[in-house]
Chains A and B, each alone.
Chain A
Amino acid sequence: MKTILIGEYREGKMLDATYELFGFARQLGGETVMFLVGDETVLPAYDGTLYLAEAVQCGEYNPELHKKLLLETVQKENPDNIVFIHSSYGWDLAPRVAAALKVAQVSEIVDIIDGGFEVGCCNAKMRRTVTPATSRAVLTIQTGAFPAVQPGGTPAVIKISSDSDGSLTFVGYEPADKKDVDLAKADIIVSAGRGVGKKDNIAIIQALATALGGELGASRPVVDAGWVPHNQQVGTTGQTVSPKLYIACGISGAIQHVAGMKKADFTLAINKDRDAPIGEFADVLVIADVMQFVPALTAKIAQ
């Protein structure tokens, strides 16, 4: 079995999540080949073959061109699986490749059980076990679902290139909001989710964070509603954090959020829904009304 792993590169850096591909590949078994649109100076610690296109020439985001390059590589390598990270890069490129190759795609794999791919569904409340019906398959894996593995070594680089002729143009990046609060360094984070109900209640969550000497975080809907500034958002589109204690208040646990906090040493979740997917990641799930429980806990801790 041969697998092509599609690495990710952005703003001059190869993304750490790339190594999770190796973790997945190890579970999958067989040999690996890597494909990356990146830069010669930042190669992955990998001892296999790397098909490398220059991002300077091919663009960091140019799915039409990247697809073309990848299809050429597939033709050469004839792999069984083509694996992406389920990211803004991966979910954008993978279906194009699958369609062009007329093969199955399985999205956002979280686990492999008895050879079947486990994927989340129904807002991560449920799971499906899926198998491709074609001999070759395009797969995308959930960030954080598989361990990051550094195979080590230096890859044998095969340079590839092509000219862009698509109708899509990547203009550039718009930077994220300035970070006043550095959640990445916080030991304790208390995060507010949609379940807090209203903007006024953010103060109650903040009070717990203050009582614990931690920082206030938030899930995406809360940030989108303007209740908490964007720089305090935890999740794939916000910050990835790794505190000692993470308290999720009224956060259902959509994967986009969980991906940002699952490295926490200890997670306490408070939710009224016992089926909330956050329960899967929490060390302790308290089934209660956030607005009743949190003030009571704050009062207790302040004692």
Chain B
Amino acid sequence: MKLLVCVKQVPDMESRFKPDASGVWYNEADLAFRMNEYDEYAVEQAVRLREELGEGTLLTVLSIGPDRVVETIKKALAMGCDNAVHIQDTTVSAKDPWQIASIIATYAQDKQFDLIFTGMQSQDRGSAQVGVTVAELLKFSCTTTIVGFAYDSCTVTTKREIEGGIKGVVTLKTPALVTCQLGLNIPRYPTLPNIMKAKKKEIVAIQVTDFMTTESRVTTTHFHSPMKKSGGIVLEGDVGELVDKVRAILKEKSLVLR
């Protein structure tokens, strides 16, 4: 059985974002990068399945981006992926989800993957399109935002997260693709022997130009901070004074102090 997990390297969301020179994406200076949170759930689930199925199963991790993404690939390998594909692309942030999905699908189309795992969305771009689009392009069965997963002889049983706390139980026949959501699992912390082993695992580097077949379908014209809610006030300073101010505001709005 062949498994693929797609991961993206994103900035840590605690960072302060500033527009880059083009004004359509963030400036990478002073950002700390890590694996996209949802992709961690995807890797964990893929590795669990890989362990469950044992010998004869091959789990590949794929990432697109500049050299820095190798760190993220290594983490996935240390978590238990067997090998890796690094699609080298220094201008990955300029590509839209459609192009990213096309690149992945072009890579995957002749590889006979049975199951593909992706995150439900990236934390930085947040379009929630790439996974589903890959499935569409590969004509894979697909479901999204899963918080439960089980596999048994070509059938994947998932629990989808639905608004209001309910879950939808969905089964898929392989080949299939699932996008993973917070709550699916707790990603493991790589052990040192696995980190060491990961250093020896193969990372195939391929130029993105080999898979670039599409034009972008959306154009970003501006990257900026959201406007604050009008009338919203920001208070800062000594805790004691803050408490007095807040109490006064609440009292004025007669929201408290019944």
Q: Which residues of A contact B (CB under 8 A)?
A: 10-11, 61, 63-64, 86-88, 91-92, 94-96, 98-100, 103-108, 116, 119-134, 166-177, 188, 212-213, 220-221, 224, 230-231, 233, 236-240, 244-245, 266, 268, 273-275, 277, 279-289, 292-293, 296-297, 300-301
Contact = CB atoms under 8 A, between A and B. Distances in A.
A130 B221 contact: yes
Contact of B235 (A92, A224, A286): A286
A174 B222 contact: no
A212 B256 contact: yes
A121 B239 CA distance: 32
A68 to B, nearest CB: 13
Contact of A104 (B132, B218, B225): B218
A133 B95 CA distance: 13
B217 A103 contact: yes
B213 interface: no
Interface in B135-176: 135-137, 141-145, 157, 159-173, 176
Interface stretch (B47-55, B81-89, B108-116, B245-253): B245-253
B169 A174 contact: yes
Interface of B: 11, 13-14, 16-17, 24, 26, 96-98, 101, 121, 123-129, 132-133, 135-137, 141-145, 157, 159-173, 176, 182-183, 215-229, 231-236, 239-240, 242-244, 246-247, 249-250, 253, 255-258
A122 B17 contact: yes
B170 A98 contact: no
A95 B173 contact: no
B165 A237 contact: yes
Contacts of B16: 275
A120 B126 contact: yes
A223 B101 CA distance: 33
A128 B222 contact: yes
Given A61-B168, A125-B17, A212-B256, A116 B239 contact: no
Given A130-B219, A174-B166, A188-B255, A92 B136 contact: no
B253 A266 contact: yes
B218 A106 contact: yes
A41 B74 CA distance: 55
Contacts of A281: 229, 232
A167 B249 CA distance: 57
A58 to B, nearest CB: 15
Given A92-B145, A281-B229, A126 B224 contact: yes
B182 A224 contact: yes
Contact of B232 (A100, A126, A279): A279
A91 B128 contact: yes
B64 to A, nearest CB: 18
A170 B157 CA distance: 10
A288 B182 CA distance: 28
